[in-house]
Chain A
Amino acid sequence: MTAPALQLEDITKTIGGLTILDGIPLKVEPGERRAIIGPNGAGKTTLLNVIAGFLPPTRGRVLIFGHDVTRLPAHRRVDVGLMKTNQQPAVLRELTALENVMLALLRGRHRFFGLAGSVDRDHEARRQAMSVLEEWDLLDVAHERVQHLSHGYQRRLELAARFAMRPRLLLLDEPAAGLAADEIPAFLERLQRLPRDMTVILVEHSMRVVFAFADRITVLHHGAVLTEGTPDEVRQDRYAQEAYLSGGTRRKDA
């Protein structure tokens, strides 16, 4: 039996006496699409940050493909195939789109912390970066500074840079937030075409995206798992409905 892509054991996070996450268990199989939903303040983003290594848990263990990464810093978790996107697209605004992808591709390529290799002379990496940009329809903005790009472009660039690194476990933190309503179908289609050898965990408020995309849904409420199941099961679940689905916290696009 293969190890789960992600296994959380009793993940607890308290900040200043406040319990943000309260003993969360979670098991995501390889290739699965898992959505984590819940009202604002349920702890979804905190949970993703604990998984990615940006926040240490107060208690509990994080295992990625069977490796215990609880004590690994965020940059080392990339080695086991983890990548995360942010609510605000995780792109470097002063750099060009090309440089953003290059930075992703150049990781570990040149020795001595990159001192041994020139960015301009690495034609192979540059060619690869251009083809990534082409695949994501970003070629026309390759030399634009990211701060001049629209939100939708920045989101695509964020995903393109992370895809260039071939993650096995992808964490998406509200990727549809900030997209215009008419941008969402294209975005959803893109998510649905992600290869099945990649495990995806999605935190999202847009129920349209969640129910179309997820194999299973975990509902968080007050830092604990309220329920978990297939989209149909969750849709039927009375507690989940009370906590979230029919609640006042629903977004207008839900």
Chain B
Amino acid sequence: MHRKGLDVRSARSSRLLLLAVAVIALLVAPAVLPDYPLSVLTEIVIFSLFVMSLNLLVGYTGLPSLGHSAFFGTGGYAVALLAIRAHLSAIPALIVAVLAGIALALITGPFVLRTSGAYFLILTLSLTQVLFGIVWLWRGMTGGDDGLPGVPRPQLPFLSGVVGSWTNFYYVVLLVVAIAVATLWWVVRSSFGLTLVGIRENERIVEGLGYPTWWTKYIVYILAGGYGALAGGLFAYFKGYVGPGQLSWLTAGEALVMVILGGAGTFWGPVLGATVVLLLRYEVSSFTQRWETILGLVFILAVLFLPEGLARLPDRIRDIRAKGRPAAAPAEQPAAEAVGSTAIAERSEQ
């Protein structure tokens, strides 16, 4: 018991240290990275938010979505249309993008949440394909398969002239994503977040404890939609362009691979997944066309040896090193008189 407390504390402080190192590294990255690797890092940061929003559904609530690109694309088109047609600046455009994602989730939630498991997967997939079709056919509004080019990248005014435009945009992305991730952290650590994990484990039990589980799922679906659209808006700025590919289920599938590879249901795991997949795509593709083969191999190895994701690697190493030590779980029932007597006595006095 005592030892365990110490373990927990030291694990927490080492995790905080790791986080601090990562934040500092992200802040100073532009000083050491040329434009191209910095753009890869920018994409990793944006995708991190996207896969974290998907993880709310897949990892925390146990709702496997293969249509999260619907929100990613909606956010992208909202930002592109507002920036190009209405010349709206980034903050209002991103807010509208989030609202568009929320609206889409509000409307589609009652349909997709009639199901769970594989049926949820197929329904969300259909949803994003329907949007894909609409965007593809509505050329006048969306540019069809040409998409909408010419989205201007937002810049932080107090940094313009001080740093280059890629660096400036990188800080915009970092700021927005950091704020979003902080709120996501709050969501998963709230009682709402605990309810989500409970629903993933056994929805009926959570319902039996008095929680309106359908509404809980609806709300997390709406939240995931909002965060997904925010990431999509940033991605449109990043590319300077939005096209139907951003809505495609292939994008959703790639995000799902990132979540599972990194560790569904862990907070930072999906970030790890996004980093590995995007680094493979950009680094491996520079010396072979077959980067997806390599990704496939990595995925298979991860599923075989780290089925809970890369984020569990430290736990796995600890488990392997701890092998041979006796298990901590008690195996036997305590004696008869130790039976919640205080609770009952206290209750009967009331």
Task: Kindly specify which of A22-30, A62-70, A78-86 makes contact with the partner chain.
Answer: A78-86
If over half of B's interface residues share one DSSP class (helix, strand or loop), that class is named, otherwise mixed; here it is helix
> Among residues 186 to 202 in chain B, which have CB atoms less than 8 Å away from a CB atom of chain A?
186-187, 189-195, 197-198, 200-202
For the complex of A and B, list the 4 residue pairs with the smallest distance between their C-beta atoms, beginning with the closest. Answer: A78-B210, A114-B191, A186-B336, A135-B343
B342 within 8 A of A: yes
Q: Which residues of A contact B345 (CB under 8 A)?
A: 193
Task: Kindly specify which of A9-17, A144-152, A219-227, A237-245 makes contact with the partner chain.
Answer: A144-152
- A120 → B minimal CB distance (Å): 6
Q: Are B187 and A136 in contact (CB under 8 A)?
A: no
Interface centre among A83, A84, A106, A120 (most CB of B within 10 A): A106
Task: Kindly specify which of A38-46, A95-103, A205-213 makes contact with the partner chain.
Answer: A95-103
Q: Which residues of A contact B348 (CB under 8 A)?
A: 195-197
Other contacts beyond A84-B208, A90-B208, A115-B191: 14, CB < 8 A: A92-B201, A107-B211, A110-B190, A113-B212, A113-B219, A115-B190, A163-B347, A183-B333, A186-B337, A186-B339, A193-B341, A194-B344, A195-B350, A197-B348
A104 within 8 A of B: yes
- A146 → B minimal CB distance (Å): 9
Residue of B nearest to A84 (CB): B208
Q: Are B340 and A137 in contact (CB under 8 A)?
A: yes
Q: Are B206 and A103 in contact (CB under 8 A)?
A: yes
A248 within 8 A of B: no
Chain A: interface residue count, which band?
Answer: 35 or more
Q: Are B198 and A75 in contact (CB under 8 A)?
A: no
Alpha-carbon distance between A103 and B191 when the two chains are bound, in angstroms: 7
Q: Which residues of B contact A144 (CB under 8 A)?
A: 328-329
Q: Which residues of B contact A190 (CB under 8 A)?
A: 339-340, 344
- A74 → B minimal CB distance (Å): 5
B25 within 8 A of A: no
Residue of A nearest to B1 (CB): A140
Q: Are B339 and A118 in contact (CB under 8 A)?
A: no
Q: Which residues of B contact A1 (CB under 8 A)?
A: none
Q: Are B209 and A104 in contact (CB under 8 A)?
A: yes
Partner of A137, one of B187, B206, B328, B334: B334
Q: Which residues of A contact B108 (CB under 8 A)?
A: none
Q: Are B216 and A113 in contact (CB under 8 A)?
A: yes
| Given A118-B186, A140-B1, A196-B348; A150-B331 close (CB under 8 Å) | yes
Q: Are A95 and B331 in contact (CB under 8 A)?
A: no
- B94 → A minimal CB distance (Å): 21
Alpha-carbon distance between A252 and B209 when the two chains are bound, in angstroms: 33
Partner of A74, one of B8, B207, B215, B330: B207
B315 within 8 A of A: no
| Given A92-B202, A137-B340, A140-B1; A83-B208 close (CB under 8 Å) | yes
Alpha-carbon distance between A86 and B327 when the two chains are bound, in angstroms: 28
B39 within 8 A of A: no
B304 within 8 A of A: no
Q: Are B201 and A94 in contact (CB under 8 A)?
A: yes
B204 within 8 A of A: yes
B213 within 8 A of A: yes
Q: Are A114 and B190 in contact (CB under 8 A)?
A: yes
A180 within 8 A of B: yes
Alpha-carbon distance between A22 and B334 when the two chains are bound, in angstroms: 42
B178 within 8 A of A: no
Alpha-carbon distance between A196 and B348 when the two chains are bound, in angstroms: 7
A-B contact pairs, 17 of them (CB 8 A): A74-B207, A75-B208, A84-B208, A92-B202, A94-B200, A102-B194, A114-B191, A115-B191, A118-B189, A118-B190, A118-B191, A135-B341, A137-B334, A141-B330, A186-B339, A189-B339, A190-B339
Alpha-carbon distance between A150 and B334 when the two chains are bound, in angstroms: 11
B205 within 8 A of A: yes
A143 within 8 A of B: yes
> Among residues 312 to 340 in chain B, which have CB atoms less than 8 Å away from a CB atom of chain A?
327-340
Q: Which residues of B contact A180 (CB under 8 A)?
A: 333
A119 within 8 A of B: yes
- A90 → B minimal CB distance (Å): 5
> Among residues 120 to 151 in chain B, which have CB atoms less than 8 Å away from a CB atom of chain A?
none
Residue of B nearest to A159 (CB): B340
